[in-house]
Structure 1
Amino acid sequence: MVKEGTTGGGEVTITAVSTVPPALPVQEHRLPLSNLDLILPPIDVGVFFCYADPGGSCAAVLKAALAKTLVAYYPLAGEVVANAAGEPELLCSGRGVDVAEASADGTDMRDMRLGLPDESIVQLVPKKKAGVMSVQVTKFRCGGAIVGCTFDHRVCDAYSFNMFLVAWAAAARGSPAPPAPSFRRSFLAPSQPAPPRTGTLADRLFVPVSRAPALPDAVSANRIYRVAAADVAALQAAAGPGRTKLEAFTAHLWGLHARAASRRDIGSCCMGVVVDGRTRLRGDGAMASYVGNVLTIPYGVMGADALLGAALADVAGDVHRWVAEAATGDHFRELVDWVEAHRPEPTVARAYLGCGEDGDGAATACVVSSGMRLPVSDVDYGWGRPAFASYHFPWPGGAGYVMPMPSARGDGDWVVYVHAAPEVVEAMEEEPTVFRALESGYMFE
């Protein structure tokens, strides 16, 4: 047994580790990453689900269902390796997924301080050591369990991993399998030959690493908040007609970054939003089951003083403008060609750099990625829907990352994972509404 750390109230001990391969053998082969996969750096993403009483054999159920699900999702059982050009690609080897079983016998789940994930969650979401993804199942004294998953973002985006989670849960319940996943890279094939792409929107949103400014690592804080359904509705109403909940939320968050920037004497704030391109590229639904990254990250930069003096509706209008500009099939096709023109050099999204289009001037930087399509109620492995779920996405970069998702309670509340500078967290917690602390026992209320 290996002691891994604490959950804020007791020790977490790894009691067993195994590697679960697909239930059927995989003919080893290589699967290239698409050009839209190649815009992602080597970052692992974590997500976890809390269950009140899954029973004593939950790990065995999960592993048996995982083996079945990996037959269709075989790339998740492989490895990321380098090709001849030094670019990452998938080795579909059937190596399997590492599954750790752990015990937190000194802790009840209802006593966990979920709002402070560095204290409560960090030892419950596995650190991936090999392969594409890994899993940890932690049992608690109260009989509850947390299922934590970590996956390589270069292989799939949140949309893709949601598909896998739903399929895995269906296999555990013995329910009919959802539609089979697609790994059809021809959806994202570049033009032949790929034309030069300069001065386009893709050129404004991404930059080759060699031309990106070197930014030092920054101290960041990790939090999980709840946003009441009434506050979400109030933000959307204040943002004006035609604005989505996410646009209103992003505008509000942008203003909080301005408040934090003014205290550090930083003049500008950069805010980005992750946009999914599946329906933009194929309106016929052909990419609905596509596994991989189909995203772009438009952003805006505004002076802190201007943000602080602006009405929420005006800021939300600006968010809507630059999101709509990128949410087109033409942009995603030009982005595929833009990456092709720069390969094999890796690229980076400018939204993360904390500077304007010309790379001049310091700015706070934050990216919002919506987890609102995570079907929490469908992640039911046969012992009921989760009592709580959230992402966990700490990383060393200086930019913040904020990911809202629906509360597992199904009451319209949001659960929001925040990775941000301490002064931004302070600004969030100073306001009387919107970012509310997660009280102990929230998941069981």
Structure 2
Amino acid sequence: MDIAGNGEFSVKLGRKEVVAAVLPMQEHWLPLSNLDLLLPPVDVGVFFCYKKPEEDHLFGFTYMVSVLKKAMAQALVSFYAFAGELVQNTSGEPELLCNNRGVDFFEAYADVELQQLNLYNPDESIEGKLVPRKKQGVLSVQVTQLKSGGLVVGCTFDHRVADAFSANMFLVSWVEMAQSKSVLSLLPSFRRSLLNPRHPGHYDPSLDNMYVPISALPPPQQKKSGTTGDDQLISRIYYIEANQLSRLQSLASASGDRRSKLEAFSAFVWKVVAASTEHGSDKKCRMGIVVDGRTRLSEGDSGERAEMMSAYFGNVLSIPYGEKRIAELEERPLSWVANAVHECLEVAKTKQHFLELIDWVEAHRPEPALAKIYASSDDEGPAVVVSSGQRFPVWEMDFGWGKPVFGSYHFPWGGEAGYVMPMPSPVGNGDWVVYMHMLRGQMELIETQGAHLFRPLTSDYLNIF
């Protein structure tokens, strides 16, 4: 069958198989943690692009697919959550049924050369073509053969079951099984008691400003289908050179406080998003930063508990956000905005914050809730969320036929706020690759005001010939 799309190439789906864990397991239920319950039902995509193997007589498409399937069946023994199903329990909450249902695994062929893929515009080249749409289970995989022997491995997983840290653990383990390693470098921990609420629970009222029950949200605004205006959310991928990142960091640290590259980058994005709103507006602009709580929740712990927390599989995230007047963000220097980003991050960098967030969810169950910035509306002003993907294991994804020439998350997340994820460049020179999902008008401003920083990703940059 053909997969429809607006790009200049077609994709034909071939064989479909369900890959289950190679060892049988006893069916059991695995409850989602309170932090899992803060995630709406959204899927996350990730993909890796490979050149035609030099020894192509050894690495044909059929052989590579067999390696991927066998290694996945082995990895799913430890990562059994990805082979299960999400089912609604009697309280109306999602719960994971670990039944080894398996992973939908698709083989496909794309009538395009690797160097012809428009990676700068994943809406055209990736969406609905090279990253599968998950219809059942928790994880779906599509392996696509390109003309002249290139390969794309695309995955889609349910965010309610795993965050990026958890997905990265699985990806690395999948590769290790393909490399015939006898022991995985990191075994996942599913010990939900690590995220149990306290009794009695308590939380700071400020969490009511960060998270909100879904029933308290206004009804979603209907968007016109096929819109091409500035209010259309689109995805783009850029690269940022290492020297430009260093320069940005220097500007962000001009007030005397050294700021990280992520803080400097987030400050720049915040300023540009603010500038995309009509001048004279008295609206505010929000900047959210995704914070991983694994190291925070293990503060003061030692031994087995700390080890389990460091390998915890699930969602351990918080999204604190800052809010500033648009005029202020435009007028103030980058260092001032970077200090505001730093203050936003400090809110969630403690063990107490995550313990209180767990208690906040418990106090509102079974009412579903989510991060308030996810549902930001136009009436409240523009908003954007930055999530660091610096631990994205692009260099480690060698299944036996070479490292990928490119890899990225693909996450048009469905929220009203924009979403941005910087990742390490596969070139390995300190550059960043940045996935952006934002309003068209914001993206156009990024490409004008930030043209020196954001360079459209091309096959020339990736040395794909």
TM-score range, shorter chain: over 0.9
Q: 1:99 Cα shift? A: 0.5
Other-structure match for 2:402: 384
User: Deviating runs (4+, > 4 A) in structure 1?
Assistant: 263-266
Matches within 5 A, 1:23-172: 23-54=22-53, 55-56=59-60, 57-104=63-110, 106-122=111-127, 123-172=129-178
Name the amino acid aligned to 2:349. A
Structure 1 residues 220 and 266: alpha-carbon distance in aligned structure 2, compared to 1, 3 A threshold: farther
Counterpart-to-counterpart distance in 1, 2:5 and 2:375: 34
Residue identity matched to 2:31: P
The answer on whether the counterparts of 1:133 and 1:149 sit within 8 Å (CA) in structure 2 is yes
Relative to structure 1, the CA distance from residue 153 to residue 266 in structure 2 (aligned partners, 3 Å threshold; closer, same or farther) is: farther
Is 1:252–2:271 an aligned residue pair?
no
How much has 1:361 moved relative to structure 2? Answer: 5.2
Task: Provide the rounded CA distance (Å) in 2 between the counterparts of 1:295 and 1:238.
Answer: 29
Aligned AA (1:260): S
**Cα displacement (A) at 1:375:** 1.9
Q: Give the drift of 1:382.
A: 1.1
Note the C-alpha offset of 1:397. 2.6
Amino acid at match of 2:261: K
Unaligned ranges ≥5, structure 1: none
Give the Cα separation in 2 of the matches to 1:32 and 1:352: 24
The answer to whether the 8 A contact 1:33-1:155 is kept is yes
Match of 2:214 in 1: 209
Q: 1:202-242: CA deviations, max 9, x gaps?
A: 22211111222334256211111111111111111111143
Change (3 A) 1:78 1:263: farther
Give the RMSD, CA atoms, in angstroms: 1.7
Task: Specify every segment of 5 or more residues in structure 2 that has no aligned partner in the other structure, as ranges.
Answer: 54-58, 224-230
User: How far, CA to CA, are the matches of 2:89 and 2:250 in structure 1?
Assistant: 50
The CA distance in 2 between the partners of 1:352 and 1:365, in whole Å, is: 9
Question: Corresponding residue for 1:425?
Answer: 443
Deviation of 1:43 after TM superposition, in Å, equals: 0.5
Counterparts of 1:85 and 1:25, CA distance in 2: 29
Report the alpha carbon displacement of residue 264 of structure 1 after superposing the two structures with TM: 9.7
TM-score, length-normalised on structure 2? 0.91
Counterpart of 1:436 in structure 2 is 455
SS at match of 1:254: helix
Q: Deviations over 1:250-302 (max 9, x none)?
A: 00000010111136957221110000000001034421111000010000111
CA drift at 1:365: 1.2
8 A Cα contact 2:163 2:316, kept in partner? yes
- 8 Å CA contact 1:269–1:354 kept in 2: the answer is no
Does 2:234 correspond to 1:234?
A: no
Q: 1:21 maps to what in 2?
A: 20
Structure 1 counterpart of 2:298: 282
Aligned-partner Cα distance in 1 for 2:190–2:391:
20
1:40 maps to amino acid: L
- The whole-number CA distance in structure 2 between the counterparts of 1:17 and 1:203 is 45
The range that moved more, 174-183 or 400-409, is 174-183
What SS is found at the alignment partner of 1:262?
A: coil
Structure 2 match to 1:185: 192
Q: Aligned residue pairs: how many?
A: 437
2:125 & 2:276 partners in 1: Cα distance? 26
Aligned-pair distance for 1:33?
A: 0.2
Determine the structure 1 residue equivalent to 2:333. 311
- Residue deviations 1:300-347 (CA, integer Å, cap 9, x gap): 111111111011000000110110111110000000000000000011
User: More deviation in 345-354 or 327-336?
Assistant: 345-354
- Pairing partner for 1:354 from 367, 373, 376: 376
Q: Identity percentage over the alignment?
A: 50
Moved more, 172-181 or 146-155: 172-181
Answer yes or no: is the 8 Å Cα contact 2:281–2:326 preserved in 1.
no
Q: How does 1:386-405 map to 2 (within 5 A)?
A: 386-405=404-423
Structure 2 equivalent of residue 340 of structure 1: 362
SS at match of 1:302: strand
- Note the C-alpha offset of 1:142: 2.1
Evaluate the alpha carbon distance shift between residue 101 and residue 254 of structure 1 in structure 2; reply closer, same or farther with a 3 A threshold: same
2:392 pairs with 1:370: no
Distance (whole Å) between structure 2 residues aligned to residue 155 and residue 42 of structure 1? 10
Q: Contact 2:161 / 2:315 at 8 angstroms: preserved in 1? A: yes
Task: Supply the distance in 2 between the matched residues of 1:264 and 1:60 (Cα, whole angstroms).
Answer: 60
Deviations 1:33-62 (A, max 9, x none): 000000000000001000112531211110
Cα distance in 2, alignment partners of residues 328 and 162 from structure 1? 24
Amino acid at match of 1:370: S
State TM-score, norm by structure 1: 0.95
